[in-house]
Amino acid sequence: MPELPEVEVIKDGLRRKLRNRTIKGVDILFKGSIKNLSPPVFGKRMLGRKFEDVSRRGKFLIFSLDNGSFLIIHLRMTGQLTYCPSNEEADKYLCLKFILDNGYQLRFMDMRRFGVVYLVKKLEEITTLANLGPEPLESNFTALSLEEILKGQKKKVKIVLMDQNLIAGIGNIYATEALYQAKINPERKANQLTEAEVKELHRAIRDILQRSISARGTSTDNYRDAEGKKGNFQYQLQVYQRGGEPCSRCGAKISQIKISGRSTYFCPSCQK
Ligand SMILES: [Zn+2]
């Protein structure tokens, strides 16, 4: 599932390509992707619009259109967004395509079909977007703000890190890796971390996310960037999907457990 770094890489790729491009055609192949409008109304309203900008909030992609409205896409489990020449062969999981004025298309593919597409006049219309917690890479997300968030939570720290209402954009991969880097056991109660541990965790979260963006994201699943290329951060993962392998810090065997139904990996020896 694409998390903050992957969505950020897609956003950067699309931003450069889509600015000032006009939509000449809309082809809806899977109607279920469009969530807040009937597909014909969606198609009619998107036709003729020009892309002004692309931004990211949490795991949401936000496309600003020339009439002040917003196209919003959340890729969820397996969604992919690519910008490609019109004559390129279509993927069998193609759900939606926008035909652009320069011989290219913006295509939304989704194997599992959990991805969601909205067209809204105001961003606040999407409550899951409006309720997102702070952006972990923004300068106002400090060790102190993380401490404030964790202090009020009795749940396991890993669950809290993945709660989009508390912090935006972190999912299973980066929660797992950040806790390893900070040497914190994912089952610890969030409100029982020491001040030093919170500082270490804050540093780890920002470091992991930044490094993943630099490596163009993690392609352990079907994630691809806006040009259809794989990311490279999977080669830098220390514990995620490495159950049974030796810890690179201490050599102990990496454990695999479930927390809230999600596979979680950690070193039982050096994550306290
Ligand atoms: Zn270890």
CATH of the domain at 83: 3.20.190.10
If asked whether residues 118 and 195 sit together in one domain, one would say: no
Question: Which of 15, 199, 262, 268 does the annotation list as catalytic?
Answer: 262
Q: Can 3 be counted among the known catalytic residues?
A: yes
What is the reported pLDDT for 92?
Answer: 95
Does the active-site annotation cover 31?
Answer: no
The strand pairing partners of 104, in sequence order, are 85
Is the domain of 125 the same as that of 149?
no
The span from the CA of 148 to the CA of 166, in Å, is 10
| Residue 232, domain CATH | 1.10.8.50
Cα 220 to ligand 1 centre (Å): 22
pLDDT of 85: 98
Closest CA relative to residue 181, chosen from 99, 270, 65, 244: 270
Quote the ligand 1 centre to 272 CA distance (angstroms): 10
Residues 111 and 224 both lie in one domain: no
Burial of 185-206, coded b for 16+ CB within 10 Å and e otherwise, reads: bbebebeebeeebbbbbbebbb
Residue-level pLDDT at 32 = 97
| pLDDT for the residue 231 | 98
Asked whether residue 119 is assigned to any structural domain, the reply reads: yes
Q: Residue 5 is inside which H or E element, if any?
A: helix 4-18
Residues 10 and 108 grouped into a single domain: yes
Structure tokens at 7: 């969505």
Asked if 100 and 208 sit in the same domain, the reply is no
Query: For residue 203, how far is its CA from the centre of ligand 1 (angstroms)?
Result: 19
Residues 180 and 147 in one domain: yes
* Same domain? 150 vs 209: yes
CA of residue 123 to ligand 1 center, whole Å = 43
- What is the pLDDT at residue 195? 98
236 CA distance to ligand 1 centroid (A)?
Answer: 16
Closest by Cα among 259, 211, 262 to 234: 211
Taking residue 1's Cβ as centre, other Cβ atoms within 10 Å add up to: 19
Residue 59 annotated among the catalytic residues of the structure: yes
Count of Cβ atoms closer than 10 Å to residue 150 Cβ: 24
Amino acid identity at 8: E
Cβ atoms of 78 and 114 within 8 Å: the answer is yes
| 29: amino acid identity, one letter | L
Domain assignment of residue 23, yes or no: yes
Q: Mark whether 126 and 149 lie in a shared domain.
A: no
Other CB atoms within 10 Å distance of the CB of residue 251: 10
Q: What is the pLDDT of residue 137?
A: 98
For 150-162, the pLDDT digits (tens) are: 999 999 999 999 9
Report how far residue 212's alpha carbon sits from residue 201's, in angstroms, rounded to the nearest whole number. Answer: 16
- Annotation says 49 is catalytic: no
pTM of the model: 0.97
Residue where a domain stops, chosen among 130, 159, 192: 130
Please check whether residue 138 lies inside any domain of the structure: no
Query: Rounded to 5 degrees, what are φ and ψ at 269?
Result: -90, -45
Low-confidence ranges of the chain (pLDDT < 50): none
Residues 35 and 78 in one domain: yes
Kindly state whether residues 44 and 91 are assigned to the same domain: yes
State whether 164 and 112 are in the same domain: no
Phi and psi torsions of 233, nearest 5°: -75, -15
Distance (Å) from CA 7 to ligand 1 centroid: 30
Asked if residue 246 belongs to a domain, the reply is no
> How do beta strands 70-74 and 23-28 pair?
unpaired
Q: Is residue 13 part of a domain?
A: yes
Specify burial of residue 118 (Cβ count, 10 A radius: 0-12, 13-18, 19+).
buried
Task: Tell me whether residue 137 is in a domain.
Answer: no
2, 5, 136, 186: the catalytic one is 2
**Structural domain harbouring 153:** 143-237
**Of the residues 21, 49, 56, 59, which is catalytic?**
59
Domain contains 136: no
Around ion ligand 1, which residues have CB less than 5 A away? Answer: 247, 249-250, 252, 267, 269-270
pLDDT at 46: 98
